[in-house]
Amino acid sequence: MKKTLIVAAALLGALTANAQQPVGKFSITPKFGFSNNYTSRDMPASFYYATLGPIGEYEPYIYNIESNITAGSFTFYNSKSKTGITFGAEAQYQFTKVFALSGGVMYTQKGATYDTKGFSTNLTNLKGNTYKYNIDEDIKLKLDYLTIPILANVYVAKGLALKAGIQPEIAINKKMQIQTSITPSDNPFITSTNSDVKNVSTFGLSIPIGISYEYHNFVADARYNLGLTNIEKEKASGAKHQNIAITIGYKIIL
């Protein structure tokens, strides 16, 4: 029994010693979590449609298609938050017991959803036939980023750190997903249902502010990312990313 207690105390001491990174050491922390994303103000979502006539009547338009297409667009403004995943790794160097610097690369899903489920309107094709055009689900603006958080970490208690810094962001995927249907369903319309978004900037900046707690090399981290740059290239709406991310990681001390 006495030996068991000694071994348990030794293990507990070793784990406690590793509760915070030693001074002068590097570490790498792989992490995974979820983020809630929204925009600082409503950002418009637009997509286009074109009418070509009922099925079986496309061929007469092939040789003069430009003069026979009737086209239009829809724009929605009521954006809502969108939940996504985030994962990657961060490296950290511990300068003192109180201060450390970290940098990392994270894959983060951002974007927004739009309150469009149940939207319906009448459209008329080239033959004068009227059809009901329906949006069956909320439109999803899917923006995937590589984010590069560079943070100052200040330890206010053992294992507990406050952090702030700068975060460059690079958009690697820009899509808008739309689920539509036509009534009656003889498909006289062409719509963009999963298209690239041209007006989203590839590069952005944000300020991450957060708190983390380390326990037995596990790191729980919560951050708020305040967007500094406009999402749109043309800056029409002035919308910026806002993001709350919560991750769990395991710190490997080198």
What single-letter amino acid sits at 21? Answer: Q
**pLDDT tens digits, 163-216:** 999 999 999 999 888 887 777 766 555 555 556 677 889 999 999 999 999 999
CA 146 to chain centre: 10
Burial class of residue 8, CB neighbours in 10 A (0-12, 13-18, 19+): exposed
Task: List Cβ neighbours of 135 (8 Å cut-off, separation of 6 or more).
Answer: 116, 117, 118, 119, 120, 178, 179, 180
Residue with tokens 């808008």: 176
Q: Are strands 70-76 and 160-177 parallel, antiparallel or unpaired?
A: unpaired
Tokens read off for 125 = 């094709």
CB atoms within 10 A of CB 160: 14
Compute the distance between CA of residue 245 and CA of residue 83 in angstroms, rounded to an integer.
10
Q: Are 220 and 163 in contact (CB under 8 A)?
A: no
At residue 143, φ and ψ (nearest 5 deg) are -120, 115
Q: What is the DSSP letter of 21?
A: P
Please tell me the pTM assigned to this model.
0.77
Q: What is the DSSP letter of 14?
A: H
Compute the distance between CA of residue 48 and CA of residue 191 in angstroms, rounded to an integer.
6
Tokens read off for 175 = 């899509």
Q: Are strands 82-94 and 160-177 parallel, antiparallel or unpaired?
A: unpaired
Task: Identify which has the larger pLDDT, 149 or 6.
Answer: 149
In which band, very low, low, confident or very high, does the pLDDT at 130 lie, cut at 50, 70 and 90? confident
**pLDDT tens digits, 25-38:** 999 999 999 999 98
CA 7 to chain centre: 46
Compute the distance between CA of residue 221 and CA of residue 56 in angstroms, rounded to an integer.
58
Task: Identify which has the larger pLDDT, 141 or 190.
Answer: 141
Q: Are 171 and 201 in contact (CB under 8 A)?
A: yes
Tokens read off for 23 = 């001074």
Max intra-chain CA distance, the chain:
94
On average, the pLDDT of the chain sits at 81
Percent of the chain whose pLDDT exceeds 70: 76
Average pLDDT over residues 78-93: 93
Q: Which residues are registered as beta bridge partners of 139?
A: 114
Task: Identify which has the larger pLDDT, 133 or 126.
Answer: 133
Q: DSSP 3-state assignment of 110?
A: strand
Q: Are 130 and 189 in contact (CB under 8 A)?
A: no
